[in-house]
Amino acid sequence: MRLLIIGRLDGELTTASRIAMSRGASVVQADDLDQGLAVLRAKGADLIMVDVALSVSDLVGALEAERIRTPVVACGAGADTRGAVDAIRAGAKEYIPLPPDADMIAAILEAVAADQAAFVWRDPAMEKVVKLAEQVARSDASVLITGESGTGKEVLARHLHQRSARRSKPFVSVNCAAIPDALLESELFGHEKGAFTGAVARRIGKFEEANGGTLLLDEISEMDVRLQAKLLRALQERVIDRVGGAKPVPVDIRVLATSNRNMADAVRAGTFREDLFYRLNVVHLRLPALRERPGDIIELAQHFARKYGQANGLPERGLSHDAKRVVLKNPWRGNVRELENAVHRAVLLATGAEIGPDALMTPEGDALGAEPDAATRAARTAEAVTRALVGRTVAEVEQDLILDTLDHCLGNRTHAAKILGISIRTLRNKLNEYTASGVAVPEPGQARPVAMAG
């Protein structure tokens, strides 16, 4: 925990500094606001403690102007009620009366550490998403968070929970893609003893575990359609049925869901229920890919460098100028997750006073940003295509291929059949099957519809 104290260190403020250091905080001091802002720009901080003798409103305004998200707590004489009120109104999160109480300072340090450790952003593109998230955080509305793999969807979900009225209650996450369909129902709703082979005792599911708090359904687009019907009932009725249970169990939860797929496409393909989609999609937060928010790259890289330096007992080292250029140039197809892994490796490999570009490597040991040869590119492309198909049925892949080809041909059946290498009769039979199951099929001369019926 890095604590920045803004104000002259004399008397009781010195005592507050000593208490913080005894609780494990690294303390830096600045005499005035200008010095404090200079420290933040150069080194950053996890928490700011400012004397109310200085202008808290000017400090908060300067932080907002520079998009510095460090929380502020104010401190001053215990009898200064007016100063305390003004500081909170100006944007301070807490007010610490002086002389300082050791337990209060410890509680604030712990709360900030838990709340701020993983959520870092600076880019204006991310700012819009976070503002909307914080605007709806205190409601109980369901929120759908979408974005590419590795963009930080679960991190944003946790941020929503921490800003909600349910923050003192459990936050429970379940990865719908990682649990086999046969087990996911029991994982979500629980089961009674003897409900199936191996059910040796009653077990509550994630819905009951999250009661009073927040349930995150991670990668919900991978959930089997048959289970989606039971989930819809749980969301509508606020009751769940344990597997093998005799009576419904009431639950009080807020549901968040994430997906790395286009949910509208999943609805059109018939792999996701439209009514469940609208039930979850009360608020939609789309996380931009890391390449779409370049202002976050250096901020995140520095955060991960500090995190893994501390975790491995290594001295704190920043990124050199050349390393920053490499990091900014890399496309980060794996988004924040890829960046985190790359910086973690660099922290372990770096030998100088700073993390240089030579420490930034791929998992295979290549220099980060180095252009692979044609054979390597082809192999990686094939691997990526294969990975994208894993977990999908042959019928699902075939349907997407046929409809995408037909879309490319603007609905021309004859042309699409030639490209696909099948007879026009086979193509028409397939399209009739899709239409009968409710899937939108483009008419001749038309592109595939993109809007869903409301």
Helices (H) and strands (E) in the chain, counts: 19, 12
Residues of the chain with CATH 1.10.10.60: 393-454
CATH 1.10.8.60 spans which residues of the chain? 291-359
Cβ-contact 7, 50 below 8 angstroms = yes
Phi, psi of 377 (to 5 degrees): -60, -45
Residues near 184 by beta carbon (within 8 Å), at least 6 away in sequence = 176, 223, 224, 227
Residue 448, exposed/middle/buried by CB under 10 A (0-12, 13-18, 19+)?
Answer: middle
Low-confidence residues in the chain, pLDDT < 50 = 116-117, 450-454
Q: Give the model's pLDDT for residue 415.
A: 83
- What pLDDT is stored for residue 359 in this prediction? 94
Residue 8's pLDDT is what?
A: 83
pLDDT for 95 equals 87
* Domain 393-454: CATH architecture, name and number where available: Orthogonal Bundle (1.10)
Q: Where in the chain is the domain with CATH 3.40.50.2300?
A: 2-116
> Rounded to two decimals, what is the model's pTM?
0.61
Residues of the chain with CATH 3.40.50.300: 124-286
Enumerate residues 6+ apart whose C-beta is below 8 A from 125.
288, 292, 293, 295
CATH of domain 291-359: 1.10.8.60
426: helix, coil or strand?
helix
What per-residue confidence (pLDDT) applies to 21? Answer: 84
Architecture of 124-286 per CATH?
Answer: 3-Layer(aba) Sandwich (3.40)
pLDDT score at 117: 45
The second-level CATH assignment, the architecture, of 2-116 is: 3-Layer(aba) Sandwich (3.40)
Predicted local distance difference test score (pLDDT) of residue 298: 94
